Amino acid sequence: MDTHGPIDIEPGHSVVFLTGAGISAESGIRTFRDARGLWEEHRVEEVASPEGFAADPALVWRFYAQRRAQALTVAPNPAHHALADLERTLGPERFFLATQNVDHLHEAGGSKDVVHMHGELFRTRCSDEDCPTLPFHDERHDFPTLPRCSCGALQRPHIVWFGEIPFEMHTIKRRVQACDLFVTVGSSGVVYPAAGLVREMLYRQEQGERVRSVYVGLERPENANAFDAVILGKAGEVLPGLFRVLGA
Ligand code: APR
């Protein structure tokens, strides 16, 4: 399906959104896969894994410093604004947003509650898992020396690296299992567990529940067959006006 009318959200119904790199593409954030998995001459796994950080923390911080500097220059697009509007209309009981993106564009677009399952570019934490210091907001993007926690250990980006477990999966799954409509936007459907969330909706349909799932993005994702509808297009063009909240 690539033509579409509005999708109705009925009174009392709730929606869960899962967003991926595609929603930030029109804002100018390059994805890992755009760059064919390479940064400068390095494989992304070298700069985005616990092993990579242990081997060369300076390289890893240089990578994230560059990404932070780039993220500071971009602005949200109409897709981010559309989701913020829907959150305002539906409220926290009926709207839930989880993103795989580490950028801050949902918040910059006005979203209040965003679950960053892969962490956040503008947060830093202590690399010692036993240190009580909490992750903190951090826009630094120039590191003359490696940043250290007051406990003495190195600080690290608050990012879920390859081989690490995404944040808040329990909450996300619970919300998906309770929603009436699940919408994925701009995610190639290859990185799990995010790509598997739509299967919860299939399972519920098999149990006789009348729930729906929709994908919005530029091309068919790997997991396209699991969705009830696939709407092809740019997120910033498709999302504004896609949803009609009945009784609002
Ligand atoms: N609007 C909608 N979709 C778009 C747009 C756009 N303007 N531009 C690109 N896309 C689509 C692409 O067609 C692609 O299917 O967005 C998807 C982006 O896919 P990926 O780059 O694989 O991003 P994502 O699925 O979010 O990656 C998941 O993998 O790299 C790791 O941890 C990183 O969170 C990331 C995760």
Residue that has been written with the tokens 């560059």 in this structure: 66
Counting atoms of ligand 1 from 1, which one is nearest the CA of 162?
32
Distance CA 158, CA 118 (A): 9
Which residue among 74, 116, 188, 238 has the greatest number of ligand 1 atoms within 8 angstroms of its CB, and so is best to mutate? Answer: 188
Whether residue 2 has pLDDT greater than 60: no
208 is a domain residue: yes
Number of domains in the chain: 2
The verdict on 135 and 216 lying in the same domain is no
**Domain match, 123 and 113 both:** no
pLDDT above 50 for 112: yes
CA–CA dist 62, 6 (Å, integer): 44
Average pLDDT over residues 209-230: 98
| 118 assigned to active site | yes
Please compute the mean of the pLDDT values over residues 163-167 and round it to a whole number.
96
- Alpha-carbon gap, residue 108 to 101, rounded angstroms: 13
Q: How many C-beta atoms surround the C-beta of residue 40 within 10 A?
A: 10
11-67 pLDDT tens trace: 999 999 999 999 999 999 876 666 677 777 888 889 999 999 999 999 999 999 999
Residues 6+ positions from 40 with CB-CB distance below 8 Å: none
Residue 247 or 184, more confident: 184
- Please name the residue that has the structure tokens 């410093």: 65
d(CA 50, CA 228): 37
Structural domain includes residue 1 = no
CA 21 – ligand 1 centroid, Å:
4
Beta bridge partners of 183: 17, 214
Judge whether residue 236 has pLDDT over 80.
yes
Q: Are strands 38-39 and 42-43 parallel, antiparallel or unpaired?
A: antiparallel
Find out whether 165 and 6 touch, Cβ atoms under 8 Å: no
**What pLDDT score does 38 carry?**
78
Q: What percent of the chain has pLDDT over 90?
A: 90
- The residue range of the domain holding 63 is 30-73+119-159
Rounded to two decimals, the pTM is: 0.95
The set of protein residues with a Cβ atom below 6 angstroms from ligand 1 is 20-22, 25-26, 31-33, 100, 118, 186-188, 190-191, 217-219, 221, 234-235
> What tens digit of pLDDT does each residue of 66-82 get?
999 999 999 999 999 99
Instruction: Supply the CATH number for residue 44's domain.
Output: 3.30.1600.10
Question: Do 11 and 123 belong together in one domain?
Answer: no
Report which ligand 1 atom has the smallest distance to the Cα of 44: 30
The rounded Å distance from CA 175 to ligand 1 centre is: 22
SS3 229: strand
The whole-angstrom separation of Cα 217 and Cα 185 is 6
Flag whether 228 is in a domain.
yes
pLDDT of residue 34: 67
Using the atom order of ligand 1, give the atom closest to the CA of residue 235. 1
Q: Please state, rounded to an integer, the average pLDDT across all residues of the chain.
A: 95
Residue 96 maps to a domain: yes
Mean pLDDT to the nearest integer, 184-203: 96
Per-residue model confidence as pLDDT tens digits over 78-99:
999 999 999 999 999 999 999 9
In this prediction, residue 1 carries a pLDDT of 43
Catalytic residue among 118, 137, 141, 170: 118
229 and 172, same structural domain?
yes
Residues 241 and 149 in one domain: no
For residues 161-186, average pLDDT: 97
Pair 142, 219 in one domain: no
